[in-house]
């Protein structure tokens, strides 16, 4: 096994878009990921992992890992939002709650299928 054989998840949005493009994802799917990334940034703005790294890097890394092993853009997006109900900030100012209002808001942003996976 060589260094090139190891998978290293992407940690930035640009690197994720390049990964998706090189993996053959349709441009429409990459555009969906870009749009969702902006929502994710707003939800996790100012949030950090215990290591001190911005949470958005973790969200992108999770999406990158799923993209490496699966071609479903819905699963990639669900991975990006995996902590939406644990630590995401919603427009009503509340976080870490899975309310009907939060579910409806997230569904409008990322679609019903992806929200259901989250």
User: Domains of the chain: which residue ranges?
Assistant: 10-117
Average per-residue pLDDT in the chain?
A: 94
H helical segments located in 1-118:
13-22, 27-43, 55-69, 73-80, 84-87, 100-110, 112-117
Query: What are 54's strand-pairing partners?
Result: 48
**Could you confirm whether domain 10-117 is CATH 3.40.50.300?**
no
Among 36, 80, 37, 40, CA closest to 62? 80
**Model pTM score:** 0.92
Mean pLDDT confidence for 12-30: 97
Residue 2 — very low, low, confident or very high, per pLDDT cuts 50/70/90? confident
The pLDDT of residue 106 is above 80: yes
């Amino acid at each position: 096994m060589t260094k090139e054989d190891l998978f290293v998840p992407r940690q930035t949005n640009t690197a994720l878009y390049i990964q998706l493009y090189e993996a053959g994802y349709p441009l429409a799917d990459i555009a969906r990921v870009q749009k969702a990334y902006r929502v994710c940034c707003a939800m996790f703005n100012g949030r950090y992992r215990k290591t001190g790294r911005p949470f958005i890097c973790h969200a992108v890394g999770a999406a990158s890992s799923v993209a490496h092993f699966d071609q479903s853009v819905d699963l990639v997006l669900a991975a990006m939002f995996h902590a939406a109900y644990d630590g995401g900030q919603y427009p009503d100012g509340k976080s870490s709650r899975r309310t009907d209002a939060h579910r409806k808001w997230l569904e409008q942003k990322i679609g019903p299928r992806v929200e259901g996976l989250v």
